[in-house]
Structure 1
Amino acid sequence: MMVAAVSVAPGWDHPRAAAAARILVEVGTERGMTVGACLAGSGLRAEDLVAPGFQLEAGQELTVARNLIRALGDSPGLGTEAGRRYTIASLGIWGYAILSSPTLREVLRLGVRYAELSFAFIQPVLEESGAEVAVVFDDEQIPADVRDFFVERELAKIAHLLPVAVDPRHRVRIETRFTGPRAAALAAVLGDVSLRSGAPRHRIVVQRTALDASLPHADPIAVRELEAQCLRTLEARRARRGVAAHVRSLVLAELDTGPTMARIADYLHIDARTLRRRLRAEGTTYRELVDEVRAAIADELLAAGLTLADVARRLGYHDAAGFSRAYRRWTGTAPGRSRR
């Protein structure tokens, strides 16, 4: 068996366009939430979601998803509702490259190689074995409280867009560990794509004999230029992002649980000493970054009217008193004054 994967840690920690967060807000507001409630604690404003070229951190999108789950519950179908709203256009250059691919083999290659340009929180891994080829969705690094939601969203997105790029006669199936109502929600949007629920892993599986068949929107010349644009976009995003930006995103994603430097260093596949040294080279420290994130989110949540106890819980403090002491250390004022 051949396995091809890129080692990044965690797989979802990369900047992304605002389209996915905008879709989450659409789902939330259609179910009775306000835009402010959807974005609470994310550091995002409504105008950010429609600003051309705006990029956000994965931790911010994760916060929006948590807001939906807190308000609406992690009910089967919520991720599917978000996933079926995607279009090829919402995926940008990456989506158009996949649409222009000459063969299913190229679709899989581009999908895995440039997954950072998608909004996925799963890590795709290409496997070839016998008569079948599969893209396995590794979800182990997704925080447990949002894992099912993001996997459901990703599978629904693929099921919704796959028939646009791939001839339905190519026998593609989706396998999922989900059963019961969550599998039923996915099945409702699959169309001609078959679903196997209760599987050992989340996968997209195709027959090897279908890999080189021509696709309906094939444009070999266009796909070369689009892939070059994908590479330039990916390199530009990585170049603008230092270690401190990685840490901010990961701290925001783990804020509810009080993230330690050792845990964040593990995510980045380095030891705590190396992380400390790299942050110092960028003119900051781990504690400063954590305080910076907490202070900004605290101000936002207090302005939204949350109680001190609610804000303390969202920021990983055991009680309001501990949060109040920390807030005074960050800002020199009491959180009650900021709330007023």
Structure 2
Amino acid sequence: MPAWDHPRGTGAARILVELGVDRGLTTSECLIGSGLSRGELNDPDTQVEAGQELTIARNILHRLGDLPGLGADAGHRYTYGALGIWGYAILSSRTVRDMIALGVRYAELSFAFIKPVIEPGTDRITVIFDDAEIPEDVRAFFVERELAKIATLMPVVVGARHGVKIETSFTGRRASALRQRLGAVPLTTGARRHAIVVDTAILDAPLPQSDPVVASALEQQCTQLLALRRQRRGTSGRVRSLILAELDTSPTIESVATHLHVDERTLRRRLVSEGTTFRELIDEIRATLAEELLTIDGITLGDIAGRLGYHDAASFSRAYRRWTGRTPRHSDLARAAPVRR
């Protein structure tokens, strides 16, 4: 299962939408195909699947382009409040060492798409940001976001002390854009990996806002929140997230089963027990996204086909007719906002 395949709160999705709106997009353009509404983003009880957040990021990149520094701009918008219980638990940690351990242990609550891995050393501890499982089209964006988020939030906890730096494999314009947004945190570019490096000399230094009693209580809440989110999810929720994440590559039930570390027969059985099938889920996602994309003036049928994982416009048109009984050119939505080839 990909490290990023976990449900999350609405904080990260809201920040992405705010980023898009500040760059001239509408909320609707940011949310197309995500299955989320403006109202749901403001509801603290809404649970967001990773695939939905990926869809929002893709909408923004599709409109604005994969601009160096765009992901870092998203990371700069984070506050500890936006991170909820996980953020407050970080703030209450006793030492830098405790903060790192708790942050990695409950990384699912941080909205991260990277996989954090702790690599101990004699004179430093390194938290590697493994990005291998992030879809390639949004990989640089989300790595930028995580690095900038850490650079924005970590000084709030550890203060102005030295001993923390960031390493990245980025070079060229992306490295320059990231450096401009990291403030006083030292950055090494062209490295073999993305990582946060902390000198062992500061690992056991007490943190200014530490409170062992509060930290213990908040960690218990982190454990309970993780269990609750996983309990609510079900197999169909995980499959929807993976389909959304890889929709443009035409995901198959075999590939999704591999991601979930189950055999195909088991996956089919679990979906049937939840009242659905893989074909129904992928058709539902594609049909919903198609209707929304058809409202955008200027987008071509070929563009829509590519977004939905079809080889060409003809394949998409046949599928659309199967779903609706109409051709996309003659749908009510298409008449309201004509689609140009």
Q: Which category describes the TM-score, using the shorter chain as reference length? A: over 0.9
Residue type matched to 1:322 in 2?
A: S
Between Structure 1 and Structure 2, how many residues are aligned?
332
What is residue 241 of structure 2 aligned with on the other side? 249
Match of 1:55, SS?
Answer: coil
Give the whole-Å Cα distance in 2 for the aligned partners of 1:33 and 1:296. 20
What is the CA-CA distance between 1:281 and the residue it aligns to?
2.7
Q: Where does the alignment leave 5 or more consecutive residues of structure 2 unmatched?
A: 336-341
1:285-296 pair list within 5 angstroms = 285-296=277-288
Q: Which residue of 2 aligns with 1:27?
A: 19
Deviation of 1:83 (Å): 0.6
- Three-state SS of the structure 2 residue aligned to 1:240 is helix
1:169 to 157, 161, 168: 161
Q: Distance in 2 between matches of 1:42 and 1:25?
A: 12
- The aligned amino acid for 1:311 is I
* Corresponding residue for residue 105 of structure 2: 113
Conservation of the 8 A alpha-carbon contact between 1:43 and 1:300:
no
Q: Say whether 1:57 aligns with 2:49.
A: yes
1:327 to 320, 324, 336: 320
- Is 2:301 aligned against 1:315? no
Aligned to 1:14: 6
What's the CA shift string for 1:281-301, capped at 9, x where partnerless? 323221111111111211222
Give the Å deviation of 1:233: 0.6
Select which of 325, 331, 335 maps to 1:337.
Answer: 331
Name the SS of the counterpart of 1:112 in structure 2: helix
Offset at residue 170 of structure 1 (A)? 4.4
Query: C-alpha separation between the residues in 1 aligned to 2:43 and 2:194?
Result: 34
Distance in 2 separating the partners of 1:221 and 1:174? 31
- The 3-state SS of whatever aligns with 1:66 is helix
TM-score (norm 2): 0.93
Q: 2:265 aligns with which of 255, 266, 273?
A: 273
Distance 2:242 2:267 in 1: 13
| Cα drift, residue 208 of structure 1 | 2.0
**In the aligned structure 2, how far is the partner of 1:284 from the partner of 1:254?**
20
Establish whether residue 237 from structure 1 lines up as the match of residue 224 from structure 2.
no
Matches for 1:112-191 after TM superposition, within 5 Å: 112-191=104-183
SS in 2 for 1:126: strand
RMSD: 1.6
Shift of 1:29: 1.6
Identity %: 61
Gap change, CA 1:286 and 1:332, over 3 Å in 2: same
Partner residue, 1:300:
292
Give 1:152 shift: 0.4
The one-letter code matched in structure 1 to 2:254 is: A
SS in 1 for 2:198: strand
User: Alpha-carbon deviations, 1:3-28, whole Å to 9, x = none?
Assistant: xxxxxx20111111112111112221
2:82 maps to 1:87: no
Aligned counterparts of 2:213 and 2:47: Cα–Cα separation in 1: 29
Q: Which digits, 9 at most, give the CA deviation of each residue in 1:119-169, with x for residues without a partner?
A: 111011111122211111110000001100100011001000110011321
CA distance in 1, matches of 2:289, 2:331: 16
- Assess if the C-alpha contact under 8 Å between 2:73 and 2:181 holds in 1: no
Structure-2 separation of matches of 1:193 and 1:53: 35
- Following superposition, the deviation at residue 330 of structure 1 comes to 2.5
- Give the Cα–Cα distance (whole angstroms) in 1 for the partners of residues 284 and 257 of structure 2: 18
> Distance in 2 between the 1:277 and 1:138 partners?
32
What is the aligned partner in structure 2 of residue 3 from structure 1?
A: none
In structure 1, what is the Cα distance between the partners aligned to 2:31 and 2:307? 14
* Paired letter, 2:309: G
